[in-house]
Amino acid sequence: MSKNIVVAIDGYSSCGKSTLAKALAKKLHFIYIDSGAMYRAVTLYFLRNNIDRNDALAVEQALKDIHLEFHSRDYQTHITLNGEEVSEEIRQMHVSEIVSEISAVKAVRKEMVKQQQRMGKSKNIIMDGRDICTTVFPLAQVKIFMTADPKIRAERRYKELKAKGQEITLEEIFENLAHRDYLDTTRKESPLTRAKDAIVLDNTTLNEKEQLEFALERVKPFLDLAK
Ligand code: DC
């Protein structure tokens, strides 16, 4: 059997990583894994169970008690936390506000990376996040680093959350994105940074079709090799 193909996508918060990853997965019939959803689900568990992220023993026990599973329907992310569907709740602001702090905890990252690497062992996958090109799959065939103007990112996110009926202002979203970018790029454990061999995709002025074409061009040579 030919080796499986891994497409790794990293980038700032809300710059369209998951939109691109889902479109690519649909087009190529690859499996899409949203690594951010895993950190969000862990965060939700910590919030619900009042886990102190500075208490190493409590964190260790929590990680043992957390069971995450992805269920793919129509290339949308459906994630369960100990059997409960939490895909909607993990996108809410109470989770977004603290997720970067929780995902900076070393033990949390270690466990998530282990689970992510297991998922990419034998299947063709597309995974997006912050450390996929640098830490999770440093040998991925295709590595993309996404970025976009922060104002545009906030506006896109605002429209998305408003459409879901969430009560939120554009300013709050802008602040949250800036805060998360800061924490994600400055944390000690595998901070968000562009892998040396990752290609930059700035989608400030690109539409979804254009960014998909850009990425497809990068994956195609590997599809031909895998034939
Ligand atoms: O992709 P997202 O915005 O849903 O991710 C939520 C948070 O999870 C993000 O602010 C940082 C963290 N994260 C991470 O540290 N590493 C990843 N591979 C993915 C997400």
Q: Where are the domains of the chain?
A: 6-226
Q: What is the rounded end-to-end Cα distance, in angstroms, of the chain?
A: 10
For domain 6-226, is the CATH number 3.40.50.300? Answer: yes
- DSSP code of 143? E
Each residue's pLDDT expressed in tens, for the chain with a length of 227 residues? 458 999 999 999 999 999 999 999 999 999 999 999 999 999 999 999 999 999 999 999 999 999 999 987 777 889 999 999 999 999 999 999 999 999 999 999 999 999 999 998 989 999 999 999 999 999 999 999 999 999 999 999 999 889 989 899 999 999 999 999 999 999 999 999 999 999 999 999 999 999 999 999 999 999 877 76
Give the distance (Å) from ligand 1 centre to CA of residue 184.
Answer: 8
Give the whole-angstrom CA distance, residue 14 versus residue 4.
28
Pocket of ligand 1 (CB under 6 A): 13, 35-36, 39-40, 99-100, 103, 129-132, 180, 184
Which pTM was predicted?
Answer: 0.94
